[in-house]
Structure formats: C-alpha cells, structure tokens
Chain A
Amino acid sequence: MNSSQVAVDVHAEPADTRTVVAQAIGLTRRYGDHTALDGVDFTVREGEMIGLLGPNGAGKSTLLNSLVGLRRPSAGRCELFGGDPSVPANRRALGMTLQETGVPGTLKVAEAVDLIAAHYPEPEDRDTLLARFGLDEVARRQAGGLSGGQKRRLALALAFVGRPRLVILDEPTTGLDVESRRMLWDSIREFHAGGGTVLLTSHYLEEIEALAERVVVLVGGRVIADDTVDAVRGLARVHRVSMVAGELPELPGVLSVERADQRVHVMTSDADELIRALVRLDVDFSGLEVQQATLEEAFLTISGS
C-alpha cells in the first residue's frame, strides 16, 4: 500500500434516499487569519449515527456550532432540516450538548429540565428522563452542587428533553467515569434504535467504534476521511518504527520519516512488512522500537502524506 492509497477518502456511496437532516456545503469558517474550517462538505441523513473524529483544533466544534447556527460561515452555508439553522423554527427537532454546558448553579436539576421542556410541543417525561440518566436522586438539588459527572449527564439529558430527531453531542463523555459512559452509550443506542439521528465528536476511537456506523475524520479544517468504522480503523492503524540508523533505502508502506538526534522515526501503515524489508535489504540499524501511533499521530501522518 502506498501513501496515496492510504489517504483516499471518498467512499463510493450508492444513492442515498434518506432525508438530509443537516448539511454543510463548501463551509469555510475563519477566525481572524486562522482558518478553522476549509471548504467542508458534509451531510447527515435521517437515522445515521456519525462519529466526528479528529485531533484538538481540527475544527470539530466549529463544524457542529455552524450546523446549529451558533457560528456564521465565512463562506459556504449550512442547512438544518432543510433550512437556515439561525432561524429558530429549524432548530425545533434538534437536541444539543455543547462541549461545556454549565447549567446555572442556582437552578435545581428538575427546574433545568422543565425550563428546556417549555420550548418543545411534546417534551419527554421529566422523571423518566432523569432516571434514564441516573439523576432521579438529585432532581431537587441545585446544579451547582452536582459532581462533575452528574453535571455532564444533566447537560446530556437536556439534549433529549424535546424528543429531538437529531442530537448533536460535542465530546459527550469527556470527564465521565466508566459507569456513566456506559449509561450514556446505552441511551444513545436506544435513541438511535428508535430512529433518532446522532452526530457526536470524540477524541476516543474506542467510543466512535462502540457507537458510530460512519466516521468522518477532520484534520486541519478539512475532511480527510468519510467512511465506515472498519475502513477508518484501518486508516488509523499506523505504527511508529524507530531505530538508530544512517541513510535509509526505499522502504515499503512508509508514511513519513523524521530524524531526531541519532534516531530515525518512520511512520508506517505496515510495521511487519517494513521490518522485513529492513532485514532483507541488510540495513545497518540498532535499538529498534515499534509502537502503535496515537490516533492523533495517525491522522496527522495520514493528512500530511
């Protein structure tokens, strides 16, 4: 496999007839002279469960915030349920959890749910919802007195109050303990099984693997991969092979080569094949180390090659 094949991102899709619920068309967003999103085309269809993956600063939050009308595009446009997301009526079937959603400290948990419920025609039953998110016992407590995990679960519960068709969750489980994370995953799966559409971001490939059917990888404000979980997992299987060596010959499966002091660091999509080649070509190396690249390294390598 050579590097150009690794970076192939367009998955030939059969014509999809499901309704488009959210869409970015040539979306560019700049902050001053920093370009957070660079001509992103992205479509979410009814019933999909999409994971948006990428390193910090890749533009994930900017993309989500643009889709719901919190950010105006510098160029291109966004549509939510077929209309302009900054028009309130187009947000009626949306549930959102931002990366930070500090419920005002003096509001009680039940009050926060009631406040959000007042915005929707057929809200979820409050007690059922709180029980589902493990918050029934703290319903009468002020939000300021909750633990970090409880605050996060409350913010997530609020996304489901209005019986949305689409929920957008920005790093839903960051800072959650394992038990809360499982609880949330179950809620998301249940919502999806009932026909709901889910778009979520995460730093964790594990979380995306557990939930998503489709993965979109964003690096440096561009979509570098948009495919099934299996395909992206293959893309992300990058190893770092490092050794002390002089000039290296042409090697197979090399994504990038970096030199630091005496050592050469080679990022590769197939570490076994690389090492076989090193031996076969009788390269004079020592201190060989092979490590699984982090997701972040993997995506940066793929996007850079």
Chain B
Amino acid sequence: MSLALVHTRYQLTQLVRIPVAILGAAFFPAASLVFFVVPNTRDNPAGATLATASMVVFAVMISNLFGHGTGVAEDRSRPWDPYTRTLPIGPAVQFLSRIFTGIVMMMVSLVPVVIIAALFTPATLSFGAFVLAIGTVLLVSLPFTMMGLAIGYSMSTKAALAIVQLIFLPLAFGGGLMSTPGDEPGFIQTIAPYVPTRGAVELMWAVVGDHQVNPTSVVSLAVWTVLFGSLAVLAYRRDEGRRFH
C-alpha cells in the first residue's frame, strides 16, 4: 500500500510538470458548464444544482476515460514500463497507484466546475450534501476508471484515443447528462437506464436535489462496474510479457 502511494506521488510529480495536461482535463467540463448551464438556469436554483451535478459526472467520465485510457496505453508504449515490471512489485501496486492518481486528477478537474457553479449559477448545496457528493463522486467514478484501464491495457495509444473520443459523447448524451432531468428526448428516456452515466448521474442528483433514483439505472451501473473491472484485470494479465511481438 505504501509503495502504491510512492508510485502515486511520482506519477503526480510527472503530471504536474506538464501543466497543459491538467488544464486540458479541466477545460471541457468547465466550458460545458459555462455554455450550457450558466445561461439557462439563471432563476432556477434547483435546476442549476442538478445541471451542475450532470456536468460533474461528465467531468468524472472524461477525466477517467482519457486519463487512464490514453495514459496507460501511452505508458505501456515506453521502455520504462517493462523496466518497472522487473521491480519486486505486483499488479496491485500498479493498479492502485493508477487509481489514486486518477482520483487526484479527477478532483482537480472538478474544481473549476464547482467554482463556476458557485459563482455564476444559482446552484446551492448544504455542507453535508457537498461532503456526501464528494463521496458519491468517488463511488460513481469506478466504472469509468475501470473502463479507462481496460482500454489502456488492451490497445495502443492511437487506438485508445480513438475509442475514447468515439464513446464519450454518446455516453454523455445517452445517459441524459445534456438534458434536463425528466425532460429528455423519448429515445434517450428509453436507453438511459442501461447507460453507465445514467446510474452515476441519478445517484448524484439524489444527493444534491430532489430526485427519485431509478433502481434499473443503479443496478446497471453496478453491472457495468463489475464488467469493466473484470475486463481491466483480464487486459492487465494478458498484457504481462506479451509486447513487442
């Protein structure tokens, strides 16, 4: 565990020295908030709070899909990765340190979203709900972390980038992140409960506002988490010692 933290610290050190990477992760969700939420929720505190929660889930998804998906694929293409596998550490250290690093980067990418929401929208949240929301963010980030790791450990950087770019918008729209809760287009209402973003955002809505969670969405979120988790572990195992054919 302490070695996982050491690796986390060094991964963060490297990321901090390329600040553009962090800015990039923080930009998209903040921009979405500015363009979609700020102008449309001027006199609607409850709506603004729910919409902010949607953007938070959007940010969580982007941060983990890109961070792990392309980040892991990129690391694997470098000679440092096989070298670290000759050290006396197993997969647990590598996996845990990546998850910890992903959480820190995700939290950083959320800061501008929260600040913009607090300053420029009527969104409000009690302190207790805010703390609970942070815990919920950690929980609902898991399926996206696992999805990112599964992608990163099973393909090249270019393929990983293409896949992530291909899936992140359908996941956002399909789960209803870009619509007002309860007012989605018909076909999205039909598919949303089976899209992983939906369970995530419904849990967030329930924490920050008045929302009745659809059990189907939560069950499918759990199923997605287990599925992507298994895929990630499988991809890691398959990756061991099978490079540079």
Q: Which residues of A contact B (CB under 8 A)?
A: 31-32, 65, 68-72, 86, 88-92, 94, 96, 98-104, 106-107, 111, 115-116, 118-120, 142, 155, 158
Contact = CB atoms under 8 A, between A and B. Distances in A.
Contact of B88 (A31, A65, A70, A91): A91
Interface stretch (B64-72, B77-85, B168-176, B189-197): B77-85
Given A31-B245, A32-B245, A103-B80, A68 B14 contact: no
B182 interface: no
A107 B13 contact: yes
A92 B240 contact: no
Task: Specify the main secondary structure of chain A where it touches its partner.
Answer: loop
Interface in B1-26: 3, 6-7, 10, 13-14, 17-18
Interface string B71-100: 000000011101101111110000000000
The 6 tightest CB contacts between A and B, nearest first, are A100-B79, A106-B17, A96-B86, A91-B88, A92-B88, A88-B90
Contacts of B186: none
B14 A107 contact: yes
Contacts of A92: 88
Given A102-B80, A103-B80, A91 B86 contact: yes
Contact of A118 (B3, B14, B90, B241): B3
B79 A86 contact: no
A111 B10 contact: yes
Nearest to B18: A106
Contacts of B17: 106, 142
Contacts of A98: 79, 82-83, 86
Interface of B: 3, 6-7, 10, 13-14, 17-18, 78-80, 82-83, 85-90, 240-242, 245
Contacts of A89: 88
A68 B86 contact: yes
B133 to A, nearest CB: 33
Contact of A106 (B3, B14, B78, B88): B14
B203 to A, nearest CB: 36
Given A86-B240, A96-B83, A102 B90 contact: no
Contacts of B242: 72
Contact of B87 (A31, A111, A116): A116
Task: Specify the main secondary structure of chain B where it touches its partner.
Answer: loop
20 contacts: A31-B245, A68-B86, A72-B240, A88-B88, A89-B88, A90-B88, A91-B86, A92-B88, A98-B86, A100-B79, A101-B83, A102-B78, A102-B79, A103-B80, A104-B14, A106-B17, A106-B18, A107-B10, A111-B13, A158-B83
Given A89-B88, A96-B86, A101 B80 contact: yes
B14 A70 contact: no
Contacts of A158: 83
Contacts of B245: 31-32
A197 to B, nearest CB: 16
A96 B83 CA distance: 8
B79 A119 contact: no
Nearest to A89: B88
Given A69-B86, A91-B88, 10 more contacts: A70-B86, A72-B240, A72-B242, A101-B83, A102-B78, A102-B79, A102-B80, A104-B14, A107-B10, A111-B10
Contacts of A107: 10, 13-14
Contacts of B79: 98-102
B202 to A, nearest CB: 39
Contacts of A91: 86-88
B122 to A, nearest CB: 42
A107 B83 CA distance: 15
Contacts of A102: 78-80
A26 B203 CA distance: 56
Contacts of B82: 65, 70, 98
A31 B78 CA distance: 20
A31 to B, nearest CB: 5
Contacts of B3: 118-119
Contacts of A103: 80
